[in-house]
Structure 1
Amino acid sequence: MMALFRLVLLLFLSSCTAVLADFLFDINAVSVYSCSENSTISTPQMSANIDSLVADLASSASQNRFSVATYGKGTDQVYGLGQCRRDLNGKDCTACLHNTTQTIRTYCANRADVWMWYNDTCYLRFTENKFYGIVDPSTFTNFFLGDHPQHPTAFKKQLDALISKVSSEAIVPANEAVGKGSSFSAASNATIYALAQCTRDLSQHSCNECLNTVTGNLLKFCKNEKTVGCRVASTGCYVHYETYQFYYPLDL
Structure 2
Amino acid sequence: MDNLMICVMLLILSGVCHIDGATHLGPECLDALNPNVTTVYKTNLKTLLGSLVVNAPLQGGFFNTSVGNGSGRVYGLGWCRADASPITCSNCLNDSISTSFKECPESISLAIWSSLCNIRFSNNIFFGELWNSSSSSTYGNHGLDDPDVFTRGFSMMETLVRNVSKASQMYPTDVIDVGNNRERYGLGQCSQDLSESDCVKCLGELLTTYQTYVLNRTGWEMLGVSCGMWYDDFEFYDNDSRPNIPSPNPSGISVYFLRVNNFFFFFVIYSDNDCINSCDVGCGKRWYKKGDMILALVAILVLYNWIS
TM range (shorter): 0.7 to 0.9
TM-score, scaled relative to structure 1: 0.75
**Number of residue-to-residue matches in the alignment:** 226
In structure 1, runs of 5+ residues without a counterpart are: 1-11, 16-22
Q: 1:100 to 1:211 in 2, by over 3 A?
A: same
Query: 1:218 is matched by which residue type in structure 2?
Result: Y
Alignment map for 1:101-250 (pairs within 5 Å)? 101-120=97-116, 122-145=117-140, 147-151=142-146, 153-172=147-166, 174-183=169-178, 186=180, 190-220=182-212, 223-249=213-239
Indicate the percent of aligned positions where both proteins have the same amino acid. 20
The Cα offsets for residues 51-97 of structure 1, whole Å up to 9 and x where unpaired, read as 11111112222332221111233333221112233444545443442
Query: 1:167 is matched by which residue type in structure 2?
Result: V
Moved over 6 A (4+): none
Q: CA offset at residue 116 of structure 1?
A: 3.2
Does the 8 A contact of 2:114 with 2:223 survive in 1?
A: no
Does the 8 A contact of 2:18 with 2:24 survive in 1?
A: no
Alignment map for 1:2-41 (pairs within 5 Å)? 24-28=15-19, 29-33=21-25, 35-41=27-33
Does the 8 A contact of 1:228 with 1:242 survive in 2?
A: yes
Superposed CA RMSD = 3.1
Task: Tell me how far apart the structure 2 counterparts of residues 86 and 146 of structure 1 sit (CA, whole Å).
Answer: 25
What is the aligned partner in structure 1 of residue 80 from structure 2?
84
Q: 1:249 to 1:60 in 2, by over 3 A?
A: closer
User: 1 or 2 for the larger relative contact order (CA 8 Å, sep ≥6)?
Assistant: 2
Task: Tell me how far apart the structure 1 counterparts of residues 210 and 201 of structure 2 sit (CA, whole Å).
Answer: 15
The Cα offsets for residues 7-61 of structure 1, whole Å up to 9 and x where unpaired, read as xxxxx8599xxxxxxx953233432445234422342332222211111112222
Task: Tell me how far apart the structure 1 counterparts of residues 48 and 164 of structure 2 sit (CA, whole Å).
Answer: 27
Q: Find 1:97's aligned residue among 89, 93, 100.
A: 93
